[in-house]
Amino acid sequence: MMNKRKLFTFLQMILDLFVIYLSYFICIYIKNFFGKPYSSINITSIKAFIPYVIIAYLLLFFIYRLYEVSTIDFYETFLGIFFSTLIIFILGFALPFFLRAFAVPRTVIIYSFIIQFILLVLLHSIVNKIYIKIMPHSKVLLLSKDDRGAKAVSEYLKGLRAGKTNVQIMLIEGNNFVKKVEDALKNFDLFVIDDTFIVEEKFELLKFFAYRNKPVYLVPGVYELLLLNPRTHFVNDLTLFEINLVNISGVERIVKRAIDIIVSLVALIVFSPVMLIVFLSIILDSGRPIFFLQERAGVNGKSFKTIKFRTMIKDAEKYTGPVLSSEDDSRITKIGKFLRKTGLDEVPQFINVLKGDLSVVGPRPERPELMQKIHEDTPNFDMRLKVKPGITGFAQLHGKYDTPSDDKLKMDLLYAKQKNAILTDIYVMFNTVKLFLLPKKRK
């Protein structure tokens, strides 16, 4: 199944390259058709320009996960194509200058943007339908020791492989669990081990499936995440894993800070007209104050005040105390609902990034008083305080507002343990743009 999926992805890439290449020749043909052909210098410049565009497209398509047909829906694919073509369109005016291909006509950049967007959307729409149609239903066995937790995990698993999965739960009791799994081995295509097993039991199950070449997924716990991407050392015959909670070097910290400053300055300049409109809208809707300052727990637990546009009535917590807001919270103002839905209330936090309180990418900072309550349910939640908090992160991309704190912790630890911190940040930033157009993620 894995080899077929790789082959399908490879064929999809070839078709994408063909469509991108074809779009430029359609532009040339249209110009010829109307009797105003491009000069030979123009054609040579266009040909020199195309390979760089193709490389940029492939990078963007992988960033936007356009080849993960089985895990993202077509609307996300559509957004990925839109933002990819838009970025290429913008870069299209800059690339010819750096490539010294000054003879690339602007009409080619404009026409190719339109043609590529239409053809790529049509192509991926057809490919998605074919993939879903030819993909067989998979029988998934979820192994767990807790019925309640297993039901929650099984709901998520139904989204695997474009939703063509039949999930069954096997509750494990006692120590003779390997024998019970072996009896069901022939009836399932995929196996999932959840986080209710102790380390020794997980090892036995993983070893069992590995020896039988069966595809198996593991829901990681904190222990497994801490072991992710270790630095390996060899001392004579001894192998050592150096475990760090945060996998980021000194150089990467400097580069990350530079990116934070540049992105924040650009964001504040670009959004300045919008911020002015929001500023006036809040005054007309509910008066002053415009901004809402709130204490949050930063890196190593050091508190700071986040700056956001006010979305609630004045003194919203005067009688309720610190509580998490809900989607239908009566304290949210009319303009506040719009700001929250679009994420515009978060824009002033780029000021926090410039001050050094926040990074653009990192775990979302929690309120100190809520941290105490969360810690009661999720004992290791304070581990995320070892990472500088951010405006966006893995939990925002892959979770929702009401994602359980235990799952948020795992996503934040997964971010902290990534090998390439800068590439990971770029991936998160590019995909965060999609969140503005994904209502189910913004809830």
pLDDT in tens, the chain (443 residues): 556 677 888 888 999 999 999 998 898 888 888 878 888 888 888 888 888 889 999 999 988 888 887 777 778 888 889 999 999 988 887 766 666 656 678 888 888 899 999 999 999 999 888 887 877 778 889 999 888 778 888 888 877 666 678 888 888 887 777 778 888 888 888 899 998 888 888 998 999 999 988 889 999 988 999 998 888 999 888 999 998 888 888 899 999 999 999 999 999 999 999 999 988 988 888 778 888 888 898 888 899 999 998 888 776 666 566 666 655 667 788 888 888 877 888 899 999 999 999 999 999 888 888 887 888 788 888 888 888 999 999 888 887 777 788 888 899 999 999 988 899 999 999 888 877 766 555 55
For residue 31, give the amino acid letter.
K
Q: Are residues 313 and 286 in contact, defined by beta-carbon separation less than 8 angstroms?
A: yes
Around 90, how many Cα atoms within 13 Å sit in the side-chain half-sphere?
5
- Residue 238: strand pairing partners: 235
What is the tally of helices (H) and strands (E) in the chain?
Answer: 18, 10
Note the CATH number of domain 138-219: 3.40.50.11410
Determine the 3-state secondary structure of 192 from DSSP.
strand
Q: Three-state secondary structure along 114-174?
A: HHHHHHHHHHHHHHHHHHHHHCCCEEEEEEECCHHHHHHHHHHHCCHHHHCEEEEEEECCC
What token pair was written down for 364? 């979302």
Residue 408's alpha-carbon distances to 188, 223, 301, 324, in angstroms, are 30, 15, 17, 15
Q: Are residues 339 and 311 in contact, defined by beta-carbon separation less than 8 angstroms?
A: yes
What's the pLDDT at 184? Answer: 82
Residue 140's CB is within 10 A of a number of other CB atoms, namely 22
Q: Cα dihedral sign for 328, 331, 335, 339?
A: negative
What's the pLDDT at 311? Answer: 83
- The span from the CA of 5 to the CA of 196, in Å, is 30
Nearest to 280 by CA among 332, 344, 331, 335: 335
- The span from the CA of 97 to the CA of 89, in Å, is 14
List the chain domain ranges: 2-134, 138-219, 250-442
Q: What are phi and psi of 404, to 5 degrees?
A: -55, 145
Q: Cα dihedral sign for 296, 297, 302, 308?
A: negative
Those residues with Cβ within 8 angstroms of residue 323's Cβ, 6 or more apart along the chain or in another chain: 317
Residue 232's CB is within 10 A of a number of other CB atoms, namely 8
What residue has token string 């809707």?
Answer: 285
Residue 104's CB is within 10 A of a number of other CB atoms, namely 25
